[in-house]
Amino acid sequence: MALLTKTRERRPTSFYFLAAFFALFVLFLYGPMLTIFILSFQGENGGLTFPMNGFSFHWFGNLFEQQAVGDFGGSFSRSLKLGLIVMVVTVVVSFMAGLAFRKRFRGDSVIFYLAIASLIVPSILISLGIGLLFNIVEWQPQWFTSALGAHLTWTFPFGLLIMFAVFNRFDPSYEEAARDLGASNWQTIQYVVLPMVGPSLIGVAMFSFTLSYDEFARTLMTAGALNTLPLEIYGMTTNVTTPVLYALGTVTTGFSFLVIALALGTVAIMRRRKGQKA
C-alpha cells in the first residue's frame, strides 16, 4: 500500500518541464514590472539602475511638478478621456450588434468579417492608413477623431466576439416569458436582457478601456500634435534621465489594476444581488 501511494505521488517529467516554463513566464511577465516598481522609490539622488540610493517618494511628488520634458497631466487626461469614450462606444455598439446578429439577415457574414478584419491587419498599418486618409482630405488628426477611430478598430472586434459568445448561450425563453406578461421590447431589454448580460458588458467595458488606455501602435500616427500617455512615455525614454519615468509607470500600472479591481467588484456585487433576488 505504501509503495502504491508513493507511485501515485510521483509526478511525470512533463510536470516539472511545464512548471519551469510557467515560472519563466511569470518572471518575464512580472519581473520588469517589479523592477520598475522598486526603482520608482529611489532616493532623491538615485539613478535609473540598481543599486538603490536610499528610499523615498520624491519622484512621485516630482510627477506633479513642472517638467522640463514631458506633459504627464495632459497626456494622462487625454488617455483617460479617450479610453472612456472608446469604452462607451464599444459597449453600446457591441451590445446592439449582438442583438442584431441573433437573427440571420442578408449580408450578415460579410458585415461580420469586415468588422473583425482589423484584428489580422498590423496595427501600425491601420495607424498609417488613417493618418494618410486624414492628410488626403486635409483634416487635422486629433486624439478624439482619428485616434478614436483607430482604437475602435481594435476594441470593437473583441467586444463583438464576446457578445456573440454571450448571446449564443442566452435562452430566448426569458424574453418570450416577459412579452407574454405584457412587457414591451424596451422593457424586455431593460429588465430581462441587460441584467443577465450585465457582467459580460462590464467585461467588454474593462477590456476595451484597458486596450485603448495603453494602445501605442494605432495611436502613433493618429493622435496629432497632442500625445496620449503611451506616446508621451515613449518619447520620454530618450530624454528623461531620472526615476520620475519609473514613478509614472508605477502610477499608471496601479491605475490599471484599480480599474480591473473596480470592474471585478462590480461584477461580484451584481452576482450577489442576483443571487439574493433568486
Residue-by-residue pLDDT tens, the chain, 278 positions: 455 455 557 888 888 899 999 999 999 988 988 998 999 898 888 888 888 888 888 888 887 776 666 677 788 889 999 999 999 999 999 999 999 998 888 888 898 998 888 888 999 999 999 999 999 999 999 999 999 999 999 999 999 999 999 998 888 899 899 998 889 989 999 989 998 898 899 989 999 999 999 899 999 999 988 899 899 888 887 777 778 888 888 888 888 888 888 888 888 887 787 777 66
Residues 159 and 226 in one domain: yes
Q: What CATH number should be reported for the domain holding residue 214?
A: 1.10.3720.10
Q: Which of 271, 267, 274, 275 is nearest to 203 (CA)?
A: 267
Give the cell for residue 34: 517589479
106 and 234 fall within a common domain: yes
Domain assignment present for residue 178? The answer is: yes
Q: Is residue 120 exposed (0-12), middle (13-18) or buried (19+ Cβ within 10 Å)?
A: exposed
Closest CA to 255 of 137, 138, 83: 83
Q: 127 and 22 in one domain?
A: no
Co-location of 23 and 129 in the same domain: no
211 and 144 share one domain: yes
Q: Do 147 and 188 sit in the same domain of this protein?
A: yes
Rg of the chain over all Cα atoms, to the nearest angstrom: 24
Domain identity same for 10 and 128: no
54/98 same-domain check = no
277 part of a folded domain: no
Q: What is the largest CA-CA distance in the chain?
A: 82
Same structural domain, 153 and 45: no
Domain assignment of residue 232, yes or no: yes
What is this structure's pTM?
0.83
Domain assignment of residue 263, yes or no: no
Distance CA 135, CA 153 (A): 19
Task: Count up the domains in the chain and report the number.
Answer: 2
Residue 247 lies in a domain: no
Q: Is residue 248 part of a domain?
A: no
**Domain range for residue 18?**
2-60
The b/e string for 254-274 (b: 16+ C-beta within 10 A; e otherwise) is: eeeeebeeebeeebeeeeeee
Q: Is residue 104 part of a domain?
A: yes
Asked if residue 48 and residue 183 are part of one domain, the reply reads no
- Say if residue 50 is in the same domain as residue 134: no
Look at residues 93, 84, 70 and name the one whose alpha carbon lies nearest to residue 156.
93
Question: Using CA atoms in the order 257, 263, 269, 274, what is the torsion angle rounded to 10 degrees?
Answer: -150
Helix extents (H) in 101-122: 108-116
